[in-house]
């Protein structure tokens, strides 16, 4: 029987490398641990994200485990809610599931990533994560301009904009007379498709149908928006619309 020797690599033997900028936003550093070594197809690395850094949308043909070793980050599956993950959390990403992950705006973030090769690759890469998906717009909205300040800035040049208080935006927007509820539904559905908010889109398509928007108009709206917001957002909207249309057959 041949004597088997122990294989040991030291940290100094595994040089760090920057994460590929074509697949990441912000600065991230990859610390490889081991490559796939037959008969094993598994490979692993630590990835350290600076605050705000994150991956693009991607998937893994054989899935991936993420073990959070430091800091606070986000993970989001396509069509699902963005989740916050912290030190000690373990995330399982099933094969073929489109997702992204990375640091929050205010914290660095490190995870151990373990995945397997399939036909020589561990990931398929897609489009960049938008500011709305990452939450930059949501973060900026935490401290809105106060109405009195808004009136100072916009009152002379755009008095109607100076009237946009929280009460108008969240209480009686649907009752304002300048636009009909049908017109407001068309605007709202378009915005939710563009922002890729599938849960809210479902309820607002139902509301749009009640407000007089036809199924044909919603279908045309999704088709038109595909050229502006990208096909992935449109495809998600198509699936939601089809489910709703089944429960609301046209007469």
The tens digit of pLDDT for each residue in 42-82 reads 999 999 999 999 999 999 999 999 999 999 999 999 988 89
Band (pLDDT 50/70/90 cuts) for residue 248 is confident
Cα distances (Å, whole numbers) of residue 45 to 15, 55, 65, 100, 129: 11, 15, 11, 17, 22
pLDDT band at residue 172, thresholds of 50, 70 and 90? low
Strands 58-59 and 54-55 turn out to be unpaired
Per-residue pLDDT at 251 exceeds 80 = no
Q: Check residue 175 and give its pLDDT.
A: 64
Distance CA 99, CA 91 (A): 12
* pLDDT value at 173 more than 70: no
Nearest Cα to Cα of residue 196 among 58, 64, 77: 77
pLDDT above 50: residue 141 = no
Q: Is a pLDDT exceeding 80 seen at residue 150?
A: no
Which pLDDT score is estimated for 156? Answer: 43
Q: What is the pLDDT of residue 51?
A: 95
Cβ(87)–Cβ(70) below 8 Å: yes
- Among 11-20, 60-69, 207-216, 218-227, top mean pLDDT goes to 60-69
pLDDT (tens digit per residue) in 78-115: 988 899 999 999 999 999 999 999 999 999 999 999 99
**Please, which pLDDT band fits residue 228 given cuts at 50, 70 and 90?**
confident
Per-residue pLDDT at 245 exceeds 70 = yes
Name the band, by pLDDT with cuts 50, 70 and 90, for residue 164: very low
Q: Which is higher by pLDDT, 128 or 172?
A: 128
Q: What angle do CA 117, 119, 122 make, to 5 degrees?
A: 35
pLDDT of residue 250: 63
CA separation, residue 132 to residues 106, 161, 192, 224 (Å): 17, 22, 11, 20
Evaluate whether the domain defined by 11-138 bears CATH number 2.30.40.10: no
Q: What are the structural domain ranges in the chain?
A: 11-138, 144-175, 179-251
In this prediction, residues 140-156 reach a mean pLDDT of 41
Tens digits of residue pLDDT in 174-211? 566 778 888 888 888 888 888 888 878 888 888 889 88
Mean pLDDT of all residues belonging to the chain: 81
What class has domain 179-251?
mainly alpha
Q: Which residues touch 176 (CB under 8 Å, ≥6 apart)?
A: 168
Q: Is the pLDDT score of 157 beyond 80? A: no
């Amino acid at each position: 029987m041949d004597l088997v020797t122990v294989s040991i690599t030291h940290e100094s033997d595994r040089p760090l490398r920057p994460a590929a900028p074509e697949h990441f936003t912000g600065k991230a550093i990859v610390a490889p641990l081991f490559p796939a070594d037959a008969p094993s197809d598994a490979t692993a690395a630590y990835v350290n994200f600076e605050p705000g850094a994150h991956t693009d949308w991607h998937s893994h043909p054989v899935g991936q485990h993420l073990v959070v070793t430091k800091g606070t980050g986000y993970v989001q599956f396509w069509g699902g809610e963005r989740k916050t993950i912290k030190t000690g959390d373990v995330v399982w990403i099933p094969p073929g599931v489109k997702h992204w992950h990375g640091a929050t705006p205010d914290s660095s973030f490190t995870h151990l990533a373990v995945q397997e090769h399939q036909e020589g690759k561990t990931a398929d890469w897609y489009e960049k994560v938008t500011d709305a998906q990452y939450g930059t717009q949501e973060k900026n909205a935490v401290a809105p301009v106060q109405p009195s300040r808004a009136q100072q800035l916009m009152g002379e040049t755009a008095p109607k904009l100076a009237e946009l208080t929280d009460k108008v935006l969240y209480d009686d927007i649907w009752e304002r007379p300048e636009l009909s509820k049908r017109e407001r539904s068309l605007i709202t559905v378009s915005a939710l498709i563009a922002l890729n908010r599938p849960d809210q889109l479902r309820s607002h398509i139902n509301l749009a149908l009640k407000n007089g928007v036809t199924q044909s108009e919603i279908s045309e709206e999704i088709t038109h928006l595909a050229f502006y917001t990208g096909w992935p957002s449109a495809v998600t909207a198509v699936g939601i619309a089809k489910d709703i249309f089944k429960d609301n057959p046209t007469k």
